[in-house]
Structure 1
Amino acid sequence: MVGMAAYAALGAAVSTGTGVASDRSSGWLRQLRVTALPPAGAVVARAASGAVTVLPAVAAVLAAGALVNGVRLALWQWAALAGLLWLGSLPFTLLGLGNGYRLTAQATGVVNMVTVLGLSVVGGLWFPAEALPAWLSPVAAYTPASPFAALGRAVLGIPTDGWALAVLPGWAVVFGTYAVASYGRSARAV
């Protein structure tokens, strides 16, 4: 359930970039640039609005786990799981925004879909990373999806070595830098 909720959050977060690419093609970003809003502010504001789409996706999977599959957790575990997956999706929102500022709407959709699938498989959201080939399994810990799911599993009592707390913020910085740089690049392309 945690892996599927993380997958839903990842997909919803990354898809925020498709709307940005559409805004860019319609000329909305050109209008936004005449305001005093700095590039980092524009990215943060868009990431905050994009984060709204993640919570319903996570809630739907958690509700299915409870109602269809009979998953029982304490109330605080449900809330912590939803909250951590929601907050932990920020790096993926930033990645989607970076793609949206850099690519056309059509290309953004394709790149985001391939990214979500790749991160989900290599990051162990669909099956344990240990089931990957021996050469690929160690890479999973360094992907953003693996520590993201580890946050959710920690709420369920599955131990994590704290690696998620170091890796996920690092990916947020990398993807945030990418999003801001892509926003600036899109300004030069207009």
Structure 2
Amino acid sequence: MISLVTAELKVLARSVTFLAITIGFPVVFFLVMSEVFGGLGTGGLDMPRYMMVSMAAFAAISVSIAVGTRVGLERQAGWHRQLRLTPMPGWSYLVAKVVVAMAMALPAIILVFVAGLVIKGVELPAGQWVALVAAAWLGALPFGVIGLAIGLAVAPDAASGAGVAVYLPMAMLGGLWVPVEALPGFMAGLAKVLPSYWLAENARIQLTGTAIQPLGIAVAVTWLVAVGGVVISLYRRQAARI
């Protein structure tokens, strides 16, 4: 499993296009949107801090799902089937994919925070920076599993597009583009059952000092367990075809 994780990370590190799109774009979105909304504020935070957390959450989501959907390319190339013929246990393969997604999400999150510090002048105590990174990174875990489910479920050549079709609505409905308070009532209610909303909310809590809501943890764990069950079922079904 360690060898597979290492190999995957080396491949992704060499893909300049993948890194630019998945890791670089959230920084651009942060810089643009923090300027567009100017001196506005919401949730007790000024706009640079609010959008910094939102775009760090978006980076975590988009990178995690993009890494998972690459399984579709492996299925198309036959590499997915080849790995199933090796002695490596199925659980090891699935865990390795999620580990790679989490490993790639971390620098994407940190880069947005660095932009906030260096370009937007967001200053926080060292402990708060660490708490922010940890909250955003741990909140990305369900999305690594969601990306893997998409890569296993849809046609190999459609996996990447399906991933985009999933994470963009999740970002919008989760309040990452505009505050949830600005969304219509039914959308604001829907946001509370999405892990994207709670990823950003749990990170913002590190800035506001309010207590973490048990509902946010429950929603994230529910998505992780439910989609994880789907991933296991899909993998077993495909393994049975050999």
Q: Which TM-score band (shorter chain)?
A: over 0.9
In the alignment, the residues of structure 1 paired with residue 199 and residue 72 of structure 2 have an alpha-carbon distance, to the nearest angstrom, of 26
2:139 counterpart of 1:77: no
Counterpart position of 2:232:
180
Identify the range of structure 1 (65-74 vs 30-39) with the bigger mean alpha-carbon deviation: 30-39
* Structure 1 consecutive aligned stretches of length 4 or more whose deviation exceeds 6 Å: none
Q: Deviations over 1:80-115 (max 9, x none)?
A: 111221121010010000111122343111111111
- Stretches of structure 2 that go unaligned for 5 or more consecutive residues are 1-51
- Where in structure 2 are the equivalents of 1:73-152 lying within 5 Å? 73-152=124-203
RMSD: 1.6
Equivalent position SS for 1:156: helix
Equivalent position SS for 2:70: helix
Counterpart position of 1:33:
84
In the alignment, the residues of structure 1 paired with residue 113 and residue 77 of structure 2 have an alpha-carbon distance, to the nearest angstrom, of 36
* Aligned partners of 1:102 and 1:185 also within 8 Å: no
Equivalent position SS for 1:15: helix
Q: Which amino acid aligns with 2:214?
A: G
Residue identity (%): 35
In the alignment, the residues of structure 2 paired with residue 110 and residue 19 of structure 1 have an alpha-carbon distance, to the nearest angstrom, of 11
Task: Report the number of matched residues.
Answer: 190
Equivalent position SS for 2:138: helix
Q: Pick closer, same or farther for the CA change 1:143–1:133 going to 2, 3 Å.
A: same
* Aligned partners of 2:76 and 2:157 also within 8 Å: no
Residue 96 of structure 2, aligned match among 33, 39, 45: 45
Q: Which amino acid aligns with 1:118?
A: P
- Stretches of structure 1 that go unaligned for 5 or more consecutive residues are none
Counterpart position of 2:10:
none
* Aligned partners of 2:53 and 2:204 also within 8 Å: yes
Counterpart position of 2:75:
24
2:61 counterpart of 1:10: yes
Q: Which amino acid aligns with 2:71?
A: V
In the alignment, the residues of structure 2 paired with residue 110 and residue 148 of structure 1 have an alpha-carbon distance, to the nearest angstrom, of 23
CA displacement at 1:50 relative to structure 2 = 1.9
In the alignment, the residues of structure 1 paired with residue 67 and residue 118 of structure 2 have an alpha-carbon distance, to the nearest angstrom, of 28
Normalised by the length of structure 1, the TM-score is 0.92
CA displacement at 1:31 relative to structure 2 = 1.7
